[in-house]
């Protein structure tokens, strides 16, 4: 079991630190509450596990040797993150419309395929996986990422839900949403570094 501790530590700190999922879940917890954000939480945990698992089967290595495929993934990631940042910037939770809603389970799963932070952590985590056959590496990565990320998602969504108690007026909401939008915008640029 001790051979997995470096992997567990690396993955935990990699996923816990701010990134697109942390920003989106904190914002969703604040805007929609914990209960309505549950499908988003579960989708992130499952999607991160799938993304990490496929790196164990060699997709990560394929991305490293195929610069065109990597560039396409980066452009898709930056575009999607910028679109989400734009929507957060424009959002007005104080007068939210009925069409405002948190991510669905499927949307959260699919977002992990273009989430640059998840790919970076998953590719880097390969260095901490004990020597196992590809199926063992994939299973180890998927279970580690999903299990740890579920706890991370629960923490940040709860933090957002609690933060909503401080956002007592439209100006506070606007500042919060714009700070979160700017943070997402920065991550869209970091995709290309």
Burial class (CB in 10 A: 0-12, 13-18, 19+), 65: exposed
Cβ of 153: how many Cβ atoms within 10 Å? 26
pLDDT at 48: 97
Residue 97: predicted pLDDT = 57
What's residue 70's pLDDT? 81
**Separation in Å, CA 120 to CA 33, 76, 148:** 29, 15, 16
pLDDT score for 178: 93
Number of helices (H), then strands (E), belonging to the chain: the values are 9, 0
Record the pTM: 0.88
What is the structure's pLDDT at 51? 94
106-139 pLDDT tens trace = 999 999 988 988 988 998 888 888 788 888 989 9
pLDDT of residue 71: 85
Contacts of 137 (CB under 8 A, 6+ apart): 56, 57, 126, 129
Torsion 54-58-63-64 (CA) sign = positive
How many residues belong to the chain?
193
Residues of the chain with pLDDT under 50: none
Burial (CB count <10 Å: 0-12, 13-18, 19+), residue 121: buried
What's the CA gap between 108 and 114, in Å, rounded? 11
| CA-based nearest residue to 160, from 180, 146, 178, 174 | 180
Distance CA 190, CA 174 (A): 24
Element (H, E) at 172: helix 170-190
CB 177 within 8 A of CB 32: no
pLDDT of residue 99: 65
Annotate 77-146 with three-state secondary structure: HHHHHHHHHHHHHHCCHHHCCCCCCCCCHHHHHHHHHHCHHHHHHHHHHHHHCCCCCHHHHHHHHHHHHH
């Amino acid at each position: 079991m001790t051979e997995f501790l470096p992997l567990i530590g690396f993955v935990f700190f990699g996923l816990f630190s701010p990134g697109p999922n942390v920003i989106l879940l904190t914002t969703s917890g604040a805007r929609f509450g914990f209960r309505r954000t549950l499908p988003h939480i579960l989708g992130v945990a499952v999607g991160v596990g799938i993304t990490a698992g496929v790196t164990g089967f060699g997709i990560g290595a394929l991305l490293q040797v195929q610069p065109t495929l990597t560039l396409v993934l980066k452009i898709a990631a930056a575009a999607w993150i910028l679109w989400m940042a734009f929507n957060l910037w424009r959002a007005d939770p104080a007068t939210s419309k009925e069409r405002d809603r948190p991510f669905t389970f499927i949307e959260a799963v699919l977002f992990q395929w273009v989430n640059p932070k998840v790919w970076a952590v998953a590719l880097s985590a390969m260095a901490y996986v004990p020597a196992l056959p590809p199926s063992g590496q994939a299973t180890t990565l998927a279970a580690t990422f999903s299990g740890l990320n579920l706890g991370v998602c629960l923490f940040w969504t709860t933090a957002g839900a609690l933060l909503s108690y401080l956002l007592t007026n439209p100006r506070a909401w606007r500042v919060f949403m714009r700070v979160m939008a700017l943070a997402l915008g920065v991550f869209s640029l970091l995709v290309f570094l």
